[in-house]
Amino acid sequence: MPPYPSPRTRKVSVTVEKAARTAPAVIVAIDGPSGTGKSSTSKAVAAQLGLSYLDTGAQYRAITWWMVSNGIDVADPSAIAAVAEKPEIVSGTDPSAPTITVDGTDVGGPIRTQEVTSKVSAVSAVPEVRARITELQRSLAASAVYGIVVEGRDIGTTVLPDADLKIFLTASPEARAARRSGELKGADVNATREALIKRDAADSSRKTSPLAKADDAVEVDTSDLTLQQVIECVVTLVEEKRAAK
Ligand code: DC
């Protein structure tokens, strides 16, 4: 990597910044189950439009990591609720280099382990955890001067019900499992498919703000689309909303 952006990169990013500064701030909620291309799409759309980016799944993973690291029994919702306020979770919202720390420790790697992935649904179902993380998400969205793309499961329904644009990404279980096992570098597709279905069922059936499509969300089925096509589709929808503001 060169130490400075090339003149072309610099020109493009200056143009993006200028466009974001002159356009009204826009709040975009992108929800859907895992493996639908949510993170890649959200980051690329935010970068392309000069917006901030927030991965809310990373926040739930971070609090889960803290629970596991501190020996909290994740099968006991009251034990989780009792300490839900303790960890300090900080999200960096630059789409080209999103970060997440817990009590000052970079947990970008540890939150992606199998152990955290298998426990995050139980921790994120606890109402005290959701209240805490939802408050963090709303304050980050409110402080994003040029606007923000927030990705998750309950953003359009609960966290930001007044978002300017709500997108709900879907894909067939087969497409999602194939993508996820590619990301996990060769993991067994069938095992990945079963794990995804199990996690979706838990995320969709919990009592507090389950994974759900908002009534006013635009549904995009990504099964047969390339990532670039999904990004273009969402960028067009955001630009239309901005033009109408
Ligand atoms: O997007 P992800 O796979 O990193 O999300 C991890 C878990 O976090 C997911 O299984 C459910 C939970 N989650 C949630 O409950 N609400 C959100 N807004 C985002 C994620």
For the domain that residue 93 is a member of, what is the CATH number? Answer: 3.40.50.300
The sign of the dihedral angle between the CA atoms of 125, 128, 134, 136 is negative
Task: Summarize the confidence of residues 208-234 as an average pLDDT.
Answer: 95
Whether residue 165 is contained in a domain is answered as yes
Whether residue 210 is contained in a domain is answered as yes
Q: Which of 40, 41, 124, 184 most suits a substitution to test ligand 1, by most atoms within 8 Å of the C-beta? A: 124
Whether residue 101 is contained in a domain is answered as yes
Whether residue 16 is contained in a domain is answered as no
Containing domain of residue 37, as a range? 26-244
Supply the pTM of this predicted model. 0.90
Strand 147-152's sheet: what is its strand order? 52-55, 147-152, 26-31, 165-170, 218-221
**Which range, of 2-16, 76-90, 142-156, 196-210, averages the lowest pLDDT?**
2-16
Q: Which two tokens stand for residue 88?
A: 């300090």
Whether residue 5 is contained in a domain is answered as no
pLDDT in tens, 23-74: 779 999 999 998 899 999 999 999 999 999 999 999 999 999 999 999 999 9
pLDDT at 5: 45
Q: How far is the CA of 198 from the centre of ligand 1 (A)?
A: 13
Q: How far is the CA of 123 from the centre of ligand 1 (A)?
A: 10
Residues with CB under 6 A from ligand 1: 34, 56-57, 60-61, 120-121, 124, 152-155, 199, 203
Whether residue 166 is contained in a domain is answered as yes
Please state, rounded to an integer, the average pLDDT across all residues of the chain.
91
pLDDT in tens, 184-193: 776 788 888 8
Whether residue 186 is contained in a domain is answered as yes
Whether residue 223 is contained in a domain is answered as yes
Task: Provide the number of structural domains found in the chain.
Answer: 1
